[in-house]
Structure 1
Amino acid sequence: MFIVLAGVLAIIGIVTAGYYFAVRPVALRIAVGPAGSDDLKVVHALSQAFVQAHSQIRLRPIPTEGATASAQMIAEGKADLAIVRGDLSVPKNVQAVATLRKNVAVLWVPPAMKGKKAGAKITKIAQLAGRRIGVIGRTPANVDLLKVILQQYGVDPNKVEVVQFPASEAADAIRNRKADAYLAAGPVNSKITSEAIAASTHDGKAPTFLPIDSAEAIAQNHPMYEASEIPAGAFGGSPDRPEDEVKTISFSHHIVARKDLSDTTVAAFTRQLFAIRQTVMSEFPLAAKIETPDTDKDAFIPVHPGAAAFVDGEEKTFLDRYSDFIWWGLMGLSAMGSIGAWFAGYLKKDERSNNSTLRERLLEMIATARRSDSAEELDQMQAEADNILRDTLQCFEHGAISEGALTSFNIALSQFHQAVADRKALLMITSQNLQRAGAALRVTGT
């Protein structure tokens, strides 16, 4: 009984510990940058929202210098999650969890200024050969993006002068005509892109947007890009900027996780991310752009199984995940109880065998008592029976004999006591008769 009880308590302890570890808050390190970027602000907002909602998953932002550094950090195992740029080299040890935002490439040419001699008007990408192109942002990824576009239109990137401007200096550079054309990459509603285009407007004339008509061909040759469109009036202003829809290419910023990160953990994070998104949107509208990952098998970045389970509605509950362990635990408990009972019986086999010998001795004493001619012998057997009774009761308390065996022993003990009582009564009567006979003989002889 004690072995089974110990087993039950052990199983309960294991299940309780398993449940605690399954539902306790898990802190995930997420690499994101650069400092001051919208991505980092959104991650900080998500982290605070998770804490306020007492969510199972907590985020620990790790600021980096940018998407490249974030990718390197998760590749080295220094982060659990990371915000990476889809058109950069994606580490092989990561899988997609969500799409943070989609970015579009915007190419435009400022209008000619009054009083200044203008060169040949640029209306097509092919006319950028020999020109100076300003790229907004210091990341080399934007320059690589420009090269991909130029090569698609047969423009040798080496015959184009590329000048990069920090986002904070882009507006001034555009007003001072530091380049003939400009490239920006970011969300359609990007504040940086909108301010740069606004700085290109002069005397009520909007810049000329250069469409990327071969966007589908670029996407075919470079799977990290997608054909996209910039809606008319996306950048505001009067007149509308742009006046008509403009074809372009897009790429995404992804939230990725290490492949070896638990499916359960990733599913919980994905569920919390989309549950809390509405709360964060009021402070950071960029959170509205968060989308579920591409779950197709041929996706450029394979989806993490945990995120796929959430998206497909196949996320497992606690019982789904651990029912097998609970079932096998109960089976193990049953087996352990059986083994414990057998082992306990095995340990008591000598005690049980000794008690069986004592019971046989008690049965022999019944026959001996019925033949005994001495009250002293009967008293000795009575004392021996008392000792046998004591040993039998101890065996029963120790579990060495069953209740049925104890009942059989009680029957035998009752028969013994009856035999002793009958024999003593007979001996007493015989003794009295002998005394009377002796007295009668003495009287007759006199």
Structure 2
Amino acid sequence: MSPRSPWQRMLLIVLATVLALVGVGSAGYYFAMRPVTLKIAVGPQAGDDYKLIQALAQVFAREHNTVRLRPVVTDGPAASALALKSGTVDLAVIRGDLPVPKVAQSVAVLHKNVAVLWAPASAAPKGKRKAGKNAGIAGITDLAGKRVGVIGRTEANAGLLNVILQQYGVDPAKVQVLSLLVTDVAEAVRTGKVDALLAAGPLNSKIIGEAVTATAHTGREPVFLSIESSEALAANHPSYEAATIPAGVFGGAPARPDSEVKTVSFSHYIVAREGASDTTIATLTEQLFTARQIVMGEVPLAAKIETPDTDKDAVIPVQPGAAAYVDGEEKTFLDRYSDLIWFSLMGLSLMGSAGAWFASFLRKDERNNTVSQRERLLDMLATARRCNSAEELDAMQTEADAILRDTLNAYENGAIDSAALTAFSIALEQFHNAVADRKLLLVEVSPLPPVRGARPQAV
């Protein structure tokens, strides 16, 4: 085997180690930067929430964002909350006034809904242009014994009506509740099937606007019922907030409503399951507010996305990653991966030390061979000083040349250091001097050869 083979093997090992580290680093970067897809429960499919989440998911995919969304359709916020509780999804869109799973942590306020209560005015007498106010319903307390049409199939709006009634001391059992679709409003008002209506949604909700307009088209102008005790209601029920409906928000002539109306609001939240990655949720929160401007043109409701409440006494505790984004305390790349970088550097150092030891181990035989050759050179030095044969001196000289070649190769391969090479040089110089001196001595003491053809002289 060539004397360079251990060094070559060491180079191959070092090269393989470097390639392995590059491969591990590339794999780590790929897994760290590859998109994370989160399943989000939202419903119903025809609702505004689903349309907004679907639009956000499309923007995330189109922009090649780190976090992607995969909508999972449910029957509504209550079903979405159950899906989050069961662990079948990572995120959910829920209503703040419904039971919130203990595992839920808020990521963002998707939008705020307001309660809109109105009663169709009494029919105008013949020959009159305007209808008078509904004398039977002047306020919330007048709803006792009446029929209230709740727009939407969800039972949550009926629960909202019960909370409002209880705040005013009205027994919900004395109020008949009918579930209506927005397409049923005009017929229900025209036939007297309902005495009042309740809808809940964003102020710019298409459903509320259409329901109010449908009421007006029956010839009975809507009379909006103010919840004057909205602040007291919010104090008794933390999931609600006092709110106002601005004058003229629903358009029409005359303006609907004709003056500001007090009411209550509640929030629709995007919540994450407890234990979700803080880094992932922080990135998602950032993407939400970045994509909001893009989605607004397609889904105006996106303009209502707000940051979550980061107070410790918030109705729904905030997810730490979302709180970090809101408070400007997001971890930088070094903060996130400092431990990994530190352990990687430590691993490289250990691998370097192990590689150096292994390389030294591979050169052990070469070092031992160099030592034995140096001892052989010293033995030849002693032999040369008493050698009587020029041919034997020449043979030792040839062997010394081979030892010199092997020693220089060992020095180049790193098997010996400069001190060992210096010691070898001294021994080699002494050997050469000994051979030269011995050859000179052999020439001086050797008899002259007889001259060919000469006769011996007579004595």
Question: TM-score, normalised to structure 1's length?
Answer: 0.89
Aligned letter for 1:45? Answer: A
Q: In the TM superposition, what whole-angstrom CA distance separates every residue of 1:242-287 from its partner, at most 9, and x where no partner exists? A: 1221111111111122233222222222222211211211121111
> Residue 62 of structure 2: which of 34, 52, 55 is its match?
52
Aligned letter for 2:91? Answer: L
Equivalent residue for 1:208?
Answer: 223
Equivalent residue for 2:171?
Answer: 156
SS at structure 2 position matched to 1:201: helix
Percent identity over paired residues: 62
> 1:143: Cα distance to partner?
1.0
Mapped contact 1:7–1:337 kept (Cα < 8 A): no
Q: In the TM superposition, what whole-angstrom CA distance separates every residue of 1:354-379 from its partner, at most 9, and x where no partner exists? A: 43233133123213212222334434
For residues 285-364 of structure 1, what are the structure 2 equivalents within 5 Å? 285-364=300-379
Q: What is the number of equivalent residue pairs in this alignment?
A: 442
Mapped contact 2:143–2:175 kept (Cα < 8 A): yes
Aligned letter for 1:435? Answer: L
| Deviation larger for 138-147 or 59-68 | 59-68
Distance 1:341 1:203 in 2: 92
With over 3 angstroms needed to count, the CA separation of the structure-2 counterparts of 1:420 and 1:445, relative to structure 1, is: farther
Mapped contact 2:185–2:215 kept (Cα < 8 A): no
| Deviation larger for 258-267 or 248-257 | 258-267
Equivalent residue for 2:50?
Answer: 40
For residues 5-404 of structure 1, what are the structure 2 equivalents within 5 Å? 5-114=15-124, 121-201=136-216, 206-386=221-401, 388-389=403-404, 391-393=406-408, 395-396=410-411, 398-404=413-419
With over 3 angstroms needed to count, the CA separation of the structure-2 counterparts of 1:275 and 1:67, relative to structure 1, is: same
> Residue 435 of structure 1: which of 439, 445, 448 is its match?
448
Distance 2:99 2:437 in 1: 105
Distance 2:316 2:133 in 1: 45
> 1:95: Cα distance to partner?
1.5
Distance 1:115 1:204 in 2: 11
Equivalent residue for 2:6?
Answer: none
Distance 2:351 2:458 in 1: 84
> 1:166: Cα distance to partner?
2.4
Distance 2:28 2:333 in 1: 10
Q: Which runs of 5+ in 2 are unaligned?
A: 1-9, 127-131
With over 3 angstroms needed to count, the CA separation of the structure-2 counterparts of 1:220 and 1:445, relative to structure 1, is: farther
Q: Which runs of 5+ in 1 are unaligned?
A: none
> 1:190: Cα distance to partner?
1.3
Distance 1:444 1:423 in 2: 35
Mapped contact 1:111–1:201 kept (Cα < 8 A): no
Equivalent residue for 2:439?
Answer: 424
Aligned letter for 1:170? Answer: V
Distance 2:158 2:39 in 1: 30
With over 3 angstroms needed to count, the CA separation of the structure-2 counterparts of 1:399 and 1:445, relative to structure 1, is: farther
> 1:185: Cα distance to partner?
0.7
